[in-house]
Amino acid sequence: MKRLAAALLLAVAGPALSASKAPPDPLSYTQLEDAKLEAQASALMHEIRCVFCQGQSIADSDAEIASDMRAMVRRRIAAGETPEQIRSWLIDRYGAWVAYDPPVEPLTWPLWGAPVVFILIGIWLARGRLKRRRR
Amino acid sequence: MKRFILWVPLGLFVGFALVVAIMLRNPSEPVIRSQMIGKPLPAFALPPGIAGKPGLSSRDLAQGGPRLLNLFASWCIPCAVESPQLMRLKQLGVPIDAVAVRDRPDDIKAFLERWGDPFQRLGLDPNRHVMIAIGSTALPESFIVDGKGIIRYQHIGEIRPEHIPELMRQLERAQ
């Protein structure tokens, strides 16, 4: 009974990693007025990985640092920076890891090359089968 | 030839299973290190976080000697955990400056009154501009900045008693 009560209490307890009480940046949750700029910002936000909750993009994540990064992206796009500039600025800080679209470099060659290799293997296997069937 | 091909799926499966087993035993380190080590501190100028203590700008951190830059917040629990170690570093003569992230002056004041105040300067970073600009991902984090304003070392997470010798060594190296 005591254990059950403890488990129930744990279930309703707030997470120990508390969040700040400061208000969020208005641009975290508000779109830019210019639809074209917002589209650029939104596309970039979907390609930047949240550095705290690492499986999500900053567009999808509710972590505070992700919301601050969204506000930063919108502010910079509105100020005239290109998405490419902002992306490389972030890569300078957090490494290529932070972008979902990894750059082509020796370390990522297998990543880009593997699909091609698998398609070639597939074609080779399929060709063998088709040939045999024709006979 | 045909015999050989029959074994390929099994071979692929064994290879796959091995990779999974190895990766499960050594999960990749989820810690993201800042890429700014060895680079100059990005330029910033933060307003004071509490009354009676100056704010913090990047120039304050290039004063000829190494300094410890601590990123913390009053709402961050591990930040309270590391405060005795920061007080110890202060006693050892380490100059420490702080960036309070997403914080409010009253909360900072209460936090420092409760846990001790090891900071010479304290800047308020309301929307994490400085935190993101130096490549920090979570709180608390501490950076060693040398006398020329170059970031030399990053400590991720709370400073525990066993981390002090390494921090002192890195401060020595940044001399």
Q: Do B132 and A17 touch (CB under 8 A)?
A: no
Tokens of B36: 């700014």
Give the residue numbers in B contacting A (CB under 8 Å), as ranges.
30, 32-36, 73, 75-77, 101-104, 107, 126-129, 131-135, 137-138
Residue A14 has pLDDT above 50, yes or no: no
Q: Do B131 and A65 touch (CB under 8 A)?
A: yes
Say what the pLDDT of residue A110 is.
Answer: 84
Nearest-CA distance A1 → chain B (Å) = 31
Q: Give whole-number Cα distances, B166 to A42, B154, B160, in Å.
A: 42, 11, 11
- Name the percent of chain B lying above pLDDT 70: 98
Coil, strand or helix at B127: coil
Omega before residue B140 within 30° of 0, cis: yes
User: Which residue shows structure tokens 């089968």?
Assistant: A129
Nearest-CA distance B90 → chain A (Å) = 27
The region of weakest confidence among A3-17, A51-65, A107-121, B133-147 is A3-17
Tokens of B37: 């080590």
Q: Which helix (H) or strand (E) holds B45?
A: strand B45-46
Q: What is the mean pLDDT of chain B?
A: 93
Which residue in A19, A68, A92 is closest to B35 by CB distance? Answer: A92
Q: Which residues pair with B67 in a beta bridge?
A: B145
The 10s digit of each residue's pLDDT in A39-97 is 999 999 999 999 888 789 999 998 899 999 999 999 999 999 999 999 999 999 999 88
Per-residue pLDDT, averaged over B120-136, amounts to 95
Q: Complex ipTM above 0.85?
A: no
- CB < 8 Å to B134, chain A: 93
Fold of B45-173: Glutaredoxin (3.40.30)
Q: Count the helices and strands in chain B (H runs, E runs).
A: 6, 7
Residue B24 has pLDDT above 90, yes or no: no
Residue of A nearest to B105 (CA): A22
First to last CA, chain A: 74
Residue A15 has pLDDT above 50, yes or no: no
- pLDDT bucket at B1, cuts 50 / 70 / 90: low
CB A93 within 8 A of CB B135: yes
Query: Which amino acid is present at A70?
Result: R
Say what the pLDDT of residue A10 is.
Answer: 56
CA distance A48 to A70: 9
Q: What is the mean pLDDT of chain A?
A: 85
Residue of B nearest to A89 (CA): B133
Residue of B nearest to A97 (CA): B32
Can you say how many angstroms the Cα of residue A123 is from the centroid of all Cα atoms in its chain? 33
Concatenate the DSSP letters of all residues of A26-41 into one string.
Answer: HHHHS--SSHHHHHHH
CB B54 within 8 A of CB B121: yes
CA distance B52 to B62: 22
CA distance A111 to A95: 17
Q: Do A17 and B101 touch (CB under 8 A)?
A: no
Q: Which residues pair with B156 in a beta bridge?
A: B141
CA distance A108 to A69: 26
First to last CA, chain B: 67
Which residue in A17, A91, A94 is closest to B77 by CB distance? Answer: A17
Say what the pLDDT of residue A8 is.
Answer: 62
Domain boundaries, chain B: 45-173
Q: Do A18 and B75 touch (CB under 8 A)?
A: yes
Residue B84 sits at φ, ψ, to 5 deg, of -60, -35
Long-range contacts for A103-111 (Cβ within 8 Å, ≥24 apart)? none
Nearest-CA distance B8 → chain A (Å) = 12
